[in-house]
Amino acid sequence: MASKNQLMVLALCGLASVAQAGEKEELLKLRSTTTSLIKQLVKQGVLTDKMAEEMLKQAEADAQQQVEKQAAAKQDIAPEEGEVRVPYVPDFVRDDIKQQVRTELREDVVKEVMQQAKTQQWGMPNALPEWTRRFTLSGDLRLRSQTEIEASDNTPRGAWLDYYNWNAINQNGGFNNTPIEQRYINTNQDRHMFRERLRLSVDAKIAENLKAGVRLATGNIRNPVSTNQDLANSGIHYQFDIDRAYLKYDKINNEGFKWLTLTGGRIQNPWYVGGAEFTGGSELVWDTDLSFEGFAGTFRHRLGGSDSLYELNDDSHSVFATIGAFPLQESALSSRDKWLFGGQVGVDWGFDNQDALRAGIAYYDYRNVSARPNITPPYTCDTNRPQNNLSVPLFMQGGNTLAPICVENANTSQISLVGLASDFKILNINMSYDIAKFAPYHVILSGDYAKNLGFNAQKVQNLTRIDTAERTNAWQLRVDVGWPKVDHAGHWSAFALYKSLERDSVLDAFTDSDFHLGGTNTKGWMIGGHYGLMKGVWMTGRWLSADVISGPKYSNDVLQVDLNTRF
pLDDT in tens, 296-355: 999 999 987 544 333 434 557 899 999 999 999 988 777 789 999 999 999 999 998 889
Which SS3 state, helix, strand or coil, does residue 8 take? helix
The secondary structure of residue 164, as a DSSP letter, is: B
Cα distance between residue 318 and residue 336, in whole Å:
39
81 to 21, 84, 86: CA distances (angstroms): 22, 9, 15
Q: How far apart are CA 456 and CA 470, in angstroms?
A: 8
Task: Indicate yes or no: pTM above 0.85.
Answer: no
Residue 407 near residue 381 (C-beta atoms within 8 A): yes
Is pLDDT of 550 > 50?
yes
Q: How far apart are CA 398 and CA 395, in angstroms?
A: 9
CB 540 within 8 A of CB 529: yes
CA distance 445 to 480: 7
CATH number 2.40.160 is the correct assignment for the domain at 146-566? yes
Residue 269 vs residues 23, 199, 301, 524: alpha-carbon distances, Å: 56, 16, 21, 25
Residue-wise pLDDT tens digits, 449-475: 999 999 999 999 998 888 888 999 999
Q: Write down the pLDDT at residue 331.
A: 80
Model confidence at 31, in pLDDT bands (50, 70, 90)?
low
CA distances from 374 to 13, 391, 427 (A): 95, 10, 31
List the chain domain ranges. Answer: 2-120, 146-566
Return mean pLDDT, the chain. 84
Tally Cβ neighbours within 10 Å of residue 429. Answer: 16
Of the candidate ranges 122-131, 155-164, 296-305, 392-401, the one whose mean pLDDT is the lowest: 122-131
Kindly state the average pLDDT of the residues 209-221: 94
pLDDT at 2 (0 to 100): 42
Q: Which of 88-102, 235-249, 285-299 has the lowest mean pLDDT?
A: 88-102
Predicted confidence (pLDDT) per residue in 394-437, tens digit? 999 999 999 998 887 766 667 788 999 999 999 999 999 999 99
* Per-residue pLDDT band at 370 (split at 50, 70, 90): very high
Angstrom CA distances, 430 to 326, 358, 475, 547, stand at 22, 9, 9, 24
The tally of CA atoms less than 13 A away on the side-chain side of residue 83 is 6
> Largest Cα–Cα distance in the chain?
126
Identify the three-state secondary structure at position 245. Answer: strand
Q: With 0-12 CB in 10 A as exposed, 13-18 as middle and 19+ as buried, what is 441?
A: middle
